[in-house]
């Protein structure tokens, strides 16, 4: 699911990442940057949303999701506006997006309001992306995990699909259910296509980064 969205447009070159990091006086301050605080808010809202689903309060859960979805664009805007792009933000933002959407899909599936196969496909995609990203970041320092355009479209469609499904839970009418089913089909196609494309794209970025930093071609 989430490459996040729409996910933020972030600098590509390691030099720009490094220059952004030099704006920070201490590593501890990175967690307190306004842009990262917004991302951390999204992380905090995710278990709260799941709790409201468990308590059978879909209205409150929908409110948490709405705030979290709005924060997805705010953190990137703040980072670019204030020159606060950091390595932590590059990793934390897509991670927060994926946790939010995965939690929402699982919660809706447990309520039998969302297709299990679509949820499993999204979970496999997101788990693979997050696992590879974390391993590359902590082992090699590589942090260029900017989402692709197809990934941004997928994230947007996931949010639209989840929002429509939530709305159907609150207002169950026949025509809305038909619309939601169409969105499920579109989401299925985009999740598969964007995941495959992103794997190829990140592989290309990592090879280019490795050549630039180590000179090793293989």
Under 8 Å CB-to-CB from 147, ≥6 apart: which residues?
3, 4, 5, 7, 94, 155, 198
Full domain range(s) for residue 112 = 14-214
The count of domains in the chain is: 1
Distance CA 1, CA 158 (A): 7
**Residues 58-75: tens digit of each pLDDT:** 889 999 999 988 887 777
pLDDT at 150: 92
- Domain assignment present for 5: no
Judge whether 110 lies within some domain: yes
pLDDT per position as a tens digit, 12-55? 444 444 444 344 434 557 777 777 788 888 999 999 999 999 99
Arithmetic mean of pLDDT, 161-173: 90
pLDDT digits (tens, 9 = 90+) for 135-159: 888 888 887 888 788 988 998 898 8
Q: What is the DSSP letter of 83?
A: T
CATH number reported for the structural domain that contains residue 62 in this entry: 1.20.120
Residues whose CB falls within 8 Å of the CB of residue 59, separated by 6 or more in sequence, listed in order? 170
Nearest CA to 104 out of 187, 189, 202 is that of 187
Residue 98 has pLDDT above 90, yes or no: no
Residue 130 in any domain: the answer is yes
Write down the mean pLDDT value for the chain.
81
**Contact present, 49 and 67 (Cβ < 8 Å):** no
DSSP class of residue 111? T
How far is CA 124 from each of CA 47, 119, 131, 218, rounded to the nearest angstrom?
20, 9, 11, 28
Could you tell me if residue 7 is inside a domain? no
**Overall pTM > 0.75:** no
The predicted-structure confidence for 106-137, as pLDDT tens digits, reads as follows 999 999 999 999 999 999 988 888 888 888 88
Residue 53 burial by CB count (10 A; 0-12/13-18/19+): exposed, middle or buried? Answer: buried
pLDDT at 28: 52
Token couple for 36: 């990262």
Domain assignment present for 1: no
In this structure, is residue 39 part of a structural domain?
A: yes
Q: Is the pLDDT of residue 186 over 90?
A: yes
Confidence label for 183 from pLDDT (cuts 50, 70 and 90):
very high
Say if 9 falls within a structural domain: no
Domain assignment present for 3: no
């Amino acid at each position: 699911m989430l490459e996040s969205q729409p996910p933020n447009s972030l600098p590509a070159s390691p030099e720009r990442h490094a220059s952004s990091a030099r704006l920070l006086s201490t590593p501890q301050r990175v967690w307190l940057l306004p842009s990262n605080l917004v991302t951390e808010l999204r992380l905090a809202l995710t278990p709260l949303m799941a709790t409201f689903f468990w308590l059978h309060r879909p209205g409150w859960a929908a409110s948490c999701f709405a705030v979290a979805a709005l924060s997805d664009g705010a953190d990137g805007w703040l980072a670019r506006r204030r020159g606060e792009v950091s390595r932590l933000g590059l990793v934390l933002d897509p991670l927060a997006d994926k946790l939010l959407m995965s939690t929402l899909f699982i919660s809706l599936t447990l309520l039998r309001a969302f297709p299990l196969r679509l949820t499993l496909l999204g979970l496999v995609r997101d788990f693979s992306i997050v696992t590879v990203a974390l391993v590359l970041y902590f082992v090699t320092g590589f942090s260029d995990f900017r989402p692709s355009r197809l990934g941004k479209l997928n994230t947007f469609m996931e949010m639209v699909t989840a929002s429509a499904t939530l709305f159907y839970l609150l207002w169950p009418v026949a025509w809305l259910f038909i619309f939601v089913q169409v969105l499920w089909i579109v989401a299925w196609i985009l999740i598969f296509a964007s995941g495959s494309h992103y794997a190829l794209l990140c592989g290309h970025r990592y090879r280019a980064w490795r050549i630039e930093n180590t000179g090793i071609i293989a």
